[in-house]
Structure 1
Amino acid sequence: MTDRYTNREAGNILREIIFIIFYHKRLILKIAGATFLLFLALAVLLPSKYLCRAKFSVSMSQQIDPLQKDVYTDSKNQYMRMLSGQKEIILSNRVLMRAAQALYPGKTEAEYQKLVAKLGKDIEVGPPKGESFEAASDFILSFDDSDPRMAYNMVKEVSQAYLAVFEEIAKQRTEYSYDFFKQQVDSLYVTMREKADLLKAYESENALALVDILNLEGNKANAETGAKTQLNAVQTKRQALREEFVGLERTIADLEASMAGDQGPAILPDMEGSGKTITAYRYKVAQLRMQIQEMDTQFTPQYEPLRRLKQELEANIELLRNETGRYLEGRRIQAESITSMISELDLAIAQLEDSLRATAQLRSTYAFLRNDYELAKTAYAEASAKLEQARQANSLSRPDLIVTLVDPAVEPMTPYKPNRIGLAVLGLFLGIFLGLSAAFTLDFFDHSIKTPEDIERWCDVPLLGSLPHSGA
């Protein structure tokens, strides 16, 4: 039941659509005809446009010019920058002015500027169809005009002007590179000569000292003859003398203290020895003291032999004191001699330290001047090598980019627009669509009764019958 009702409703809608079309057929035909005639007139009256193209290919050369040599890791962005740069060159005033002067001779400067501005808008430079500058290494120069000969001449002249300007720019870059390195080499040569003169003058002024320095640097086996080794030896000797002087001072102090006592001077170990007078006096004094000690227990002090022994003891002690005094005087003289030697060594140490400081200063200055000269020499050699590369690049006139005219301009034989058949077909279908749209829109806003079924729909009363329309 439901399917039958649905099919019935669909049939009613289809009949209503057909009715609307036939009811407004005159309106549909008028609108469709007018639209078709309008587009047909456009297809006939619109002027023909002829498109002329020239295709260029860009490739990178193996650059030997050091000033133009770049290291790229992203070739995609590199080509995009290069192609964008070529587009800027083509649309530059320099290229378009040459083309305008070739095509339109005899005009004023203001007229040429207007032509260049118009050409900058009309000329198109882009990658092949369906590609972008990021994915292509080619680009197309295109221009359209109602005159096929003018379109061809324009593309041809712009292409020739572009190639000429590109070569001029490339040549200027290589010439600039050569001039740049030429100036740099000349400047570095003057700098190198100045540093060489400074080094030579310094070597002449300090020839003897530099000979010793260079000999020591070249033969390490003779390093012990250097001032540093001599300074170490002198300092070691001074330390030994200083220790000996301190020992002598202690000995002199002890002897002076013992000389002031009643018991006689003390006999130090280094004062004794076989055959020495002090040793003989010491033994004599010791024997006399032993004899006096034995007799003191047996006899009175007035005993003549005991008294003579005491007198002899005092005489020997005096002799021992005199001999010790001579020994003490010798040690004082020795101490003074050591003091004098230490003073001489201090003077020698000061001289050696001054010599070391002077040598270090000399070595440092010489090393600085020599290193400065070597750096200048290396910089001059590197700049000379780059100058030679720039000279070769200049002689070869080898740019970093190679632009090739792959497809030169060809005079077009057929227009590329307008598409007359397409315009006529578009006008036909658009007219039908507009006519149908107008018919359905008019019917939607028209509530008048046109069919017997409209009575049941709008009046909600049953239809009993109908009379045909009579022309009488």
Structure 2
Amino acid sequence: MEQFYLDDENSYQDEKIDLQKYIRVLIRRWKLVFSVTILVTVPWVIYTLKQPPVYEAKAVIRFKSYEGKDPTLTESRTTVLTSRTFAEQVVAQMGLSMKIKSDAMKRLKRKEIFQHFSTTKDPVPGDYLLRLNNDATYSLFILLDDKRKRKIKEGLVNQILDSPLSANGFNLQISPNLLNVPQDIEFTILPFREAVKEFQSKTNVSWNRSGTLMTLTMTDEDPYLAAKMTNRLAEIFVEESASLKKKAVEKKRELLEEQVRLAKAKLDESERALKEFKEKYAINLDAEQQTQLNQMVAAEQEKENLVAYKKALKGLLARLDSETLSSSGDGNTQAQLNRRYIFRQIAEHPVFDNNATMLVYRAKLLDLEDQWKQVVDVSSAENPKAKEIDAEISLTHLQIKKLALQEIDDLNKQIARLESKINQLKFKLKQLPAQQQKLNELTRTNQVLEKQYTDLLAMYRDAQITEAVETEDIEILDPAIEPEFPKNLNKKIQAGLGGIFGLILGIGLAFLLEFLDKSIKNADEVKKFLKLTVLGSIPQIDFSDVYDFQDSEKLKQIDQQLVTHDYSPTPIGEAYRSLRTNILFSRERGQLQSMVITSNEPGDGKSFTAANLSITFAQLKSNTLLIDGDLRRGVLHNTFGVPKEPGFSNYLTSMIPIQHIIHETHIPNLSLITCGSLIPNPSELLASHQMKRFLDEMRRKFDLIIFDSPPLNAATDAVVIGTQVDATILVIRAGKTDRDLARQKLELFSNVPANIIGVVLNGTTADLAHPGYSYYHY
């Protein structure tokens, strides 16, 4: 048998895109697309229209000095700005835990109701009513849960106009605009922590690439509040930052002042001891001795510097090892940033100021880190380019570490040489008399203390100058101004976007369902998935709409399944006549006197097709025999209104004469053999010699024999009959028959001598029906 159904679906993946196919999908599933679009759009439009206007205010803060070497500085400043401490200050100072409740008052801006409102950090939450009476008095009530109100304050209106009213942890002062008419002002005091969290959620911070400009953005339904909140938070941040900087400068100056005082006392004591010694022994150092002493002081000072450099380098390397351990295996980004900071400190250490190699590494490292930051700012650290740069940075880090270890070795050698030189000078000076050695020691101590005092005094004077003339290194460059228009001004566009999203979602669901739908829907899919010819497409039909069957008397005589009993030009009749023509032309393949009609599962319309196709052949004056080969659930006797027994099964089991089972129908030239009584083993009987003798005799008596067989998913009777007749026709229900199941059932014919000449596609929609007609349901 021809292997027409074994090709893999993947062989069609390279087909050209068929736009009409996608259009047909949308037409077929337009109800789903429409429903999803409406279900998404309507709630979205309602939500959008109900949204209050939201205003956005921005302030820009500038940092005059930026330690760009510290990768955590911007993050640290952002954390400080958005901290709970700052938020609590703003919420308390501006009374942001208060919300206006009165509908009439909501139309007014807050500043038009209260000229001042603030709270403590623990106001009493609840609903309040401020009543301005006709007699120029006011009453403040707290509203209780049982809808009662309890008065907590009262007095003259002028009192709360000229100065704030304090009650339950809040202070309010009304605006003069409210004095014209009596007013009831309802407001709510939210729990303070809830108000703080709401304030923090409205705060957004962004930075420019260099890290010198911070943009603070805040949103609120009141444009006045949006601008005021932004400016107040920026002011508190600047004030606190300046205060911390000033305290740090003062502390440094005080520390240096104390160190200068102690150094001056030690120097004075040293000078006094040197003076007394000279007066007592009346001796002085000669030029050679003074030179040796100066050399020893310089060597000791140089040694101290080198030891300090060595200690600093070893400390940085130790910190580096510690950060490496903490970042290994867990992707600790903070530890990695700290390692980069430590490597920069190593590269910029003063000991390498004259090291040409380290200067190259230093410049290369700064350039690579700048490139990495630019890539990460626009994408992420997982970007391939960022990873490539990170690998180069790691390589440079290894080179810097190697050079630092070499430098420590060099420092050890230099320190050893200096220690040797100092020991030699000490030995020479020890050769002098005892009084001379004492003078050398006092002179050396005095020189060291004098240098320490001079250095500390210079640092102290620098600190005094810094404290006196220090300017702010942080300032508000652009304060926030009251926004004129809300950020969500154009609600029509937002509503339209919701509609577009709903449409896209609906179309997406339609195509998703189409992708998941494995049913065969049209002739193209039959050819594509089953590799079979479509002999005919039978449109959907609704019997209540067929004109011929509106006569109740005729309905009593003719089963509704027989839609081709006359020559009326209905779409369904024309479809079956077209099917008949295609089958007749298929005779070119060879003799076609007998055929079996089957389907994949019940409900596909095989019996309907067999009955009406038989009628169309009989109308050609062909002596046609229709056999109900479904020996389990035959229905054709009901369709044509003839007795069920004796029938086909009775002939196969009891040798009843053939003429006893052949029934004439009301259709000229059409005879019917019913299924007969139920039998337990129809497949064996259909493959028996009795079946062969039956076929031989029927071929001599009739021009065309049509079998109606059970569906393939119920029995293999159709396969058995198919090997004994000239042709097999498969009926497929459009939009119902699963293509994978159909391919699987066709495998039953792969190893038997059956001739499947094509497919009847039943229940097709308008795009496959006969042109020029209207379509019906079936």
Place the TM-score, normalised by the shorter chain, in its bin.
0.5 to 0.7
3-state SS, counterpart of residue 190 of structure 1: helix
Say which of 238, 243, 250 aligns to 1:163.
238
Shift in Å at residue 394 of structure 1? Answer: 1.9
Aligned-residue RMSD, C-alpha: 3.9
Once residues 461 and 93 of structure 1 are traced to their aligned partners in structure 2, the CA distance between those partners, rounded to angstroms, is 74
The reply on whether 1:180 has 2:258 as its aligned counterpart is: no
**2:458 maps to 1:385:** yes
Give the letter aligned to residue 482 of structure 2. Answer: E
Deviation at 1:471, TM superposition (A): 7.1
- The equivalent residue for 1:46 is 51
Shift, 1:55, TM fit: 0.4
- What displacement does 1:187 show? 0.8
Question: In structure 1, what is the Cα distance between the partners aligned to 2:228 and 2:92?
Answer: 12
Q: Does the 8 A contact of 1:43 with 1:418 survive in 2?
A: no
Structure 1 residue matching 2:69: 3-state secondary structure: helix
Aligned partner of residue 56 in structure 1, secondary structure: strand
In 2, are the aligned partners of 1:152 and 1:412 still within 8 Å (CA)?
yes
Counterpart-to-counterpart distance in 1, 2:23 and 2:84: 64
1:108 correspondence with 2:113: no
Q: Deviations over 1:300-334 (max 9, x none)?
A: xxxxxxxxxxxxxxxxxxxxxxxxxxxxxxxxxxx
Aligned equivalents of 2:248, 2:26: Cα separation in 1 = 75
- Structure 2: how far apart are the matches of 1:192 and 1:37? 87
CA separation of 1:461 and 1:85: change in aligned 2, threshold 3 A? closer
Q: Name the structure 2 match of 1:223.
A: none
Equivalent in the alignment of 2:439: 366
Aligned AA (1:420): K
Residue number in structure 2 paired with 1:410: 481
Offset at 1:24?
A: 3.3
**Residues 367 and 96 from structure 1, CA distance in 2 versus in 1: closer, same or farther, beyond 3 angstroms?**
farther
Contact 1:125–1:140 (Cα < 8 Å) also in 2: yes
Among residues 18, 33, 36, which one is paired with 1:31 in the alignment? 36
Question: Paired residue for 1:420?
Answer: 491
* Cα distance per residue 1:214-246 (max 9 Å; x no partner): 59979xxxxxxxxxxxxxxxxxxxxxxxxxxxx
Which of the pair has more CA radius of gyration? Answer: 1
The change in CA–CA distance for 1:156 and 1:368 in structure 2 (over 3 A counts) is: same
Look up the match of 2:203.
123
Alignment of 1:236-255 (within 5 A): none
Q: How far 1:386 moved relative to its partner?
A: 2.3
Alignment of 1:139-158 (within 5 A): 139-158=214-233
Aligned partners of 2:222 and 2:53: how far apart in 1? 8
SS at the partner of 2:62? strand
Q: Distance in 2 between matches of 1:165 and 1:429?
A: 48
- Code of the residue aligned with 1:380 in structure 2: it is Y
Aligned partner of 2:78 in structure 1 is: 87
Is structure 2 residue 90 aligned with structure 1 residue 99?
Answer: yes
Structure 1 residues 357 and 429: CA distance shift in structure 2, 3 A: closer
Matches within 5 A, 1:247-266: none
2:272 matches 1:201 = no
Which amino acid in structure 2 is aligned with residue 199 of structure 1?
L
Shift in alpha-carbon separation, 1:440–1:366, aligned structure 2, 3 A: closer
Q: 1:113 to 1:203 in 2, by over 3 A?
A: farther
Q: CA deviation at 1:170?
A: 2.3
State the Cα deviation string for residues 90-115 of structure 1 (Å, max 9, x = none). 23455434323311233335965665
**Any unmatched runs of 5+ in structure 1?**
1-5, 62-74, 219-355
Question: Cα offset for 1:155?
Answer: 0.6
1:435 aligns with 2:469: no
Which whole-Å CA distance do the structure 2 matches of 1:183 and 1:192 have between them? 14
CA distance 1:363–1:94, shift in 2 (3 Å): farther
1:51-70 → structure 2 map (5 Å cutoff): 51-60=56-65
Residues 215/417 of structure 1: CA separation in 2 closer, same or farther (3 Å cut): closer
| Counterpart residue identity of residue 144, structure 1 | T
8 Å Cα contact 2:54/2:219 also seen in 1: yes
CA distance in 2, matches of 1:387, 1:49: 53
Mapped contact 2:93–2:119 kept (Cα < 8 A): no
**For residues 371 and 424 of structure 1, what CA distance do their matches in structure 2 show?**
87
Q: Where in structure 2 are the equivalents of 1:223-372 lying within 5 Å? A: 359-372=432-445
CA distance in 2, matches of 1:20, 1:358: 111
The one-letter code matched in structure 1 to 2:120 is K
Separation in 2 of the partners of 1:26 and 1:174?
74
Q: CA deviation at 1:191?
A: 0.9
Equivalent residue letter for 2:78: K
Work out whether residues 38 and 427 of structure 1, in 8 Å CA contact, stay in contact via their aligned partners in 2: no
Matched, 1:77 2:94: no
Residue 138 of structure 1 pairs with residue 151 of structure 2: no
Letter in 2 for 1:46: Q
Counterpart CA distance in 2 for 1:97 and 1:442 is 53
Distance change (3 Å), C-alpha of 1:365 and 1:116: farther
Letter in 1 for 2:228: N
Cα deviation digits, residues 247-289 of structure 1 (max 9, x gap)? xxxxxxxxxxxxxxxxxxxxxxxxxxxxxxxxxxxxxxxxxxx
For residues 379 and 120 of structure 1, do their structure 2 counterparts lie closer, same or farther at Cα, with a shift above 3 Å needed? farther
Unpaired runs of 5+ in structure 2?
1-11, 96-117, 124-190, 291-428, 537-576, 579-768
* Counterpart contact for 2:62–2:212, Cα < 8 Å: yes
AA paired with 1:389?
Answer: D
Q: CA deviation at 1:180?
A: 1.4
Q: Identify, as 1 or 2, the structure richer in helix.
A: 1
- The code of the aligned residue for 2:281 comes to N
Distance 2:499 2:774 in 1: 35
Which structure ranks higher in relative contact order (CA pairs < 8 Å, sequence separation ≥ 6)?
Answer: 1
Query: Are 1:55 and 1:405, in contact at CA under 8 Å, matched by a contact in 2?
Result: yes
Tell me the distance in 2 between the aligned counterparts of 1:19 and 1:435: 15
| Paired residues of 1:43 and 1:419 also in contact (CA < 8 A) | no
Given the superposition, is the C-alpha separation of residues 387 and 215 from structure 1 closer, same or farther in structure 2, using an over 3 Å criterion? closer
Letter in 1 for 2:275: K
Percent of aligned pairs with the same amino acid: 16
Q: 2:501 is matched by which residue type in structure 1?
A: L
In 1: Cα distance, 2:289 partner to 2:32 partner: 115
The answer to whether the 8 A contact 1:102-1:157 is kept is no
Scaled by the length of structure 1, what TM-score is found?
Answer: 0.54
Q: Does residue 21 in structure 1 map to residue 92 in structure 2? A: no
Contact 1:95 1:165 in 2 (8 A): no
Distance 1:174 1:18, change over 3 A: closer
* Cα 1:58–1:375 shift into 2, 3 Å: same
Q: Report the CA distance between 1:140 and its aligned residue.
A: 0.8
For residue 462 of structure 1, give the secondary structure of its aligned residue in structure 2: strand
The 8 Å contact of residues 235 and 476 in structure 2, kept in 1 or not, is answered as: no
d(CA) in 2 for partners of 1:452, 1:361: 122
Q: Which residue type is aligned with residue 24 of structure 1?
A: R
